Chain A
Amino acid sequence: MDFLLLLISTGLVSGAAYGLIAMGFALIFKSTGVVNFAQGELVMLTAYISFTIYSTFELSFFPLMLVTIPISMLIGLVLERVFIRPMLGEPVFAIVMVTVGLAVILRGITIMIWGPDPFNFTAGLSTNVVYLGSIPFYPAQLYLIAALGVMTLLGWAFLRFTRMGIAMRAVAANETAALLVGISVSRIHAVAWMLSAAIASVAGVLFAANYKLAPDLWFQGLKSFPAVILGGMDSVIGSAMAGLIIGVIENLFQGYIGQGLREISGFIVIIIVLMVRPYGLFGSKDIERV
């Protein structure tokens, strides 16, 4: 029983990381129709920035995030203004290719600034083991699961109750109609990138606190992509949930069947789900896939 609980609990931890990264993907896709292939790099870059802040000022976790998140949002805004805004009106494929180029640039910049060595980054969190019942956790693991919960709740409330969130949904539903009723689509795009960068920073810092900070952190973006597909590319909340599902399934497959099945288990689930619901578990039926 403990073995099963251990697999589920640690699956929730890795799933929370997938979910947070997937939320960033979905948020940009929902409001701009673009798959941001630089999302993993954004996660990595913001984690490294946070590491520098932590190393310099030795802040504890919450003050660290209070500094990291606004800086990340600013980076998201700058990236949108410099790389994406000039592409408005261009074919979606061209914009997607810009994000691919952006990913390569961000990877290069990260290694140029911080070098190739990996780092231990606790993000101001204790490394003492804590127990929930009989299940051991590192605090960073609990923070990761909690962060997904908080971000999902905030995401839902933002999209449901705020003017900006409703405007974002309007742009996602019909960009032309949204323009006609006076919504600034370009502003919505900028906000989407800022919020996505904010989520990326939370994901990056907590991923690094759990699994070390290294220049291959960007790869988690690709590993999280199945969660976006499973949850529905335009469903921010669905992506978060799908991340958890994939994380737990991966651990159960590895724990009970083993021999590297972790890697393919998520994809098996995705294929089955997409055969039944091609638009994902929580996605809209009319989305256009790239």
Chain B
Amino acid sequence: MRNKLLALTACLLASTASYAADPGVSDTEIKIGDVNIMTGPASFIGRAVAVGSKIAAAEINEAGGVNGRKITIVTEDDGYIPARSFQALTKLIEVDEIFALNGTSGTANVLAMMPLIEENNLPTVVTTAPNELVYDPVRPSVFTIGGSYSDAFYGQLKYIHENLEPENPVYGLIRQDDDFGGAIEHGYERAIEEFGVKDGLRVRFKKGTANFAAEVAQMKQAGVNVLANGGIIAGAANILGEARKLSMDMQVASVWSEDMPPSVNLSAPAGYDYLVADYVALNGPDYDRFMEKARKYASEEEVAAINRYTLVTYVGLSALAEAMKQCGQELTRDCTIEKLRGLKNFDTQGVAAPISFDNEQQLSGTALAIYQLNAADKSFKRLTDFTDY
């Protein structure tokens, strides 16, 4: 009788094992959440992010899933509005019952979601907002992939200083008057101090500014011939357009958003072969292999939407899946977080530098490669390997 009771208890425990696990995991499926910018002017980022998740999930699922469980991506739109990000994640947690989070929208958005992430001990990989505010202070379940704007600008200015060697260099900075602009100025400041070059002018502008005529005229008057261009997309293009009008001959360092095709289309007509620093590959055999995968798993329309954000999200989900895989059949959030924390030199197949979260900040992929635009054919040439600055 006693043996029968023990056997019955064991059967009951076995049959309820999957129900006792954390939300979002069944015997056949793992639900991964994605809070993303699917509507509004910044939705070209969200579309690219969604394609990255789709390609990674399709690749993992085709290879048998995570220990036999297929990954399902559940996407919620936040329209790039932090309050909506909070609502979206609430829905993902309470209605969809996700296991982990991969897409996290912008910096303000991920910060808005942070209380929910911490409260639910949600394994979260942040790839599109590698801002210091996200990883300092470190939150136990949050892992960040990406370099900093500060390093990106320092790296580009270092390359200009050491390799392009402009005559009588006068450096200038134009940047937004917010945290993002502050990070750029931090890298600029570091370069100015380290290289001992002339700091011609620093100008701030409000987000959404379209007319940069006065700012660029100031740059011209200050004799700037090395410009740290902190404008993004149309703003960056308008700055370069004004510089071209004033016949300014200069080397330009840019934000990594300027390697996306829509940005290149806007800026290239100004004729400046500007630099960008990015933590993902923009060309080369590794990039070509990724695009082959993209064409296999994504539709033509989705492939057309691919930009750097696709690659960073692909890397994020791949790293998350690797950690979940290491947990074996007993997949829990605690285990996933522990395995993410122990992840070391995870191979991204050359799409980014290898991922290691075994550091205090749980931050990886900070190594940046420098690229230079050829404005004539709108292509990028890789100038350096992934390097930590």
A116/B41 contact (C-beta < 8 A), A7-B214, A212-B237, A254-B214 known:
yes
A212/B213 contact (C-beta < 8 A), A116-B41, A260-B177, A263-B206 known:
no
Query: Is B40 at the interface (CB under 8 A from chain A)?
Result: yes
A-B contacts, 24 listed (Cβ < 8 Å): A3-B217, A6-B217, A10-B213, A10-B217, A14-B213, A115-B43, A116-B41, A118-B266, A120-B237, A129-B244, A129-B247, A136-B247, A211-B211, A212-B210, A212-B234, A212-B237, A212-B266, A214-B234, A219-B208, A251-B214, A260-B177, A260-B204, A262-B205, A262-B209
Query: Is B345 at the interface (CB under 8 A from chain A)?
Result: no
Q: Do the beta carbons of A259 and B204 come within 8 Å of each other?
A: yes
The residues in B between 172 and 216 inclusive whose CB is less than 8 angstroms from any CB of A are 177, 203-206, 208-211, 213-215
A214/B41 contact (C-beta < 8 A), A118-B233, A118-B234, A118-B266 known:
yes
Known: A111-B39, A117-B262, A252-B214. 9 other contacts (CB 8 A): A6-B246, A115-B43, A116-B40, A117-B44, A120-B265, A129-B247, A220-B210, A255-B214, A263-B209
Cα–Cα distance between A40 and B210 once the two chains are bound (Å): 15
Chain A residue at minimum C-beta to C-beta distance from B238: A211
With a cutoff of 8 Å between Cβ atoms, the chain B residues found around residue A137 in the complex are 245
Query: Is A172 at the interface (CB under 8 A from chain B)?
Result: no
B43, B213, B265: the one contacting A251 at CB < 8 Å is B213
Query: Is A216 at the interface (CB under 8 A from chain B)?
Result: yes
**Cβ distance A228 to chain B, nearest Cβ, rounded Å:** 19
Report which residue of A10, A117, A118 has the largest number of chain B beta carbons within 10 angstroms of its beta carbon. Answer: A117
Cα–Cα distance between A207 and B238 once the two chains are bound (Å): 12
With a cutoff of 8 Å between Cβ atoms, the chain B residues found around residue A6 in the complex are 213, 217, 246
Q: Do the beta carbons of A120 and B266 come within 8 Å of each other?
A: yes
Give the bracket for the number of chain B residues in contact with chain A: 35 or more
Query: Is A145 at the interface (CB under 8 A from chain B)?
Result: no
Using a CB–CB cutoff of 8 Å, the interface residues on chain A facing chain B are: 3, 6-7, 10-11, 13-14, 111, 115-120, 127, 129, 136-138, 207, 211-212, 214-216, 219-220, 250-252, 254-255, 258-260, 262-263
B interface: dominant SS: helix
With a cutoff of 8 Å between Cβ atoms, the chain A residues found around residue B203 in the complex are 258-259
Query: Is B42 at the interface (CB under 8 A from chain A)?
Result: yes
The residues in B between 234 and 253 inclusive whose CB is less than 8 angstroms from any CB of A are 234, 237-238, 241-242, 244-247
Query: Is B269 at the interface (CB under 8 A from chain A)?
Result: yes
Query: Is B15 at the interface (CB under 8 A from chain A)?
Result: no
Chain A residue at minimum C-beta to C-beta distance from B270: A127
